[in-house]
Amino acid sequence: MRVLVIEDEPQIRRLLQEILEESGYSVDTAAEGTEGLSKATIWPYDAVILDLLLPKMDGWDLLEQLRQTHKTPVLILSARDALSDRVLGLDLGADDYLVKPFERVELLARLRALIRRSAGQTQTLIPLGDLTVDLRGRCVKRGETSLELTAREFALLEYLVLHRGRVVGRTELYDHLLDESDNGMSNSLEVHISNLRKKLSDNLIETRRGQGYVIPE
């Protein structure tokens, strides 16, 4: 999953990037509002974490403009804790609002919930035949046995599981699994798909020639 962090404070921006990358997300960042809006409208992010007090364009205006064209889930992360700020943020189209300072586990839980809901999923444990995909623990089990996947393999499986029943093209996978500086999967998507089949099941992921990949319902 790919997340955009729009935050002007360098220390907080780096902290958020570290937290998210350690949790398996691909992360892009922006240090001011106009850059943030530009990226948020160019790339199909799975979620945006948005500060409000930004240079060049504040978070309110950014959110209002973004909502004219995009439904990307937005989590406002701000030091502004007044009720009027929270209400305004939600009314302008934010999907959630978290006040700084924040707890890492709460931030990640809220982010998971936003991404799940936007994909039409309600649970963190998703059954898949004799497998269980644990979105919170970022692992796959067969019965009580954990199956070893690399971070990239799990990210690929997670995206296909959240969009189960829909054929997902290669470009869409690249857009949602790689950040703007990453080309590490450009030549190895087929390798990761092959590894998932070997580790999980030959029949788990179907290839639709010329279209992409799908995990059938």
pLDDT in tens, 68-81: 999 999 999 999 99
Q: How many CB atoms lie within 10 A of CB 48?
A: 27
CA distances from 90 to 83, 178, 217 (A): 11, 29, 34
Interval 2-36: pLDDT, tens: 999 999 999 999 999 999 999 999 999 999 999 99
Instruction: Give the global pTM.
Output: 0.91
Identify the helix (H) or strand (E) that includes residue 155. Answer: helix 151-162
The contacts of residue 179 (CB under 8 Å, 6+ apart) are 2, 26, 27, 28
Q: Are 157 and 133 in contact (CB under 8 A)?
A: yes
Q: How many separate helices (H) and strands (E) can be counted in the chain?
A: 8, 11
pLDDT at 157 (0 to 100): 95
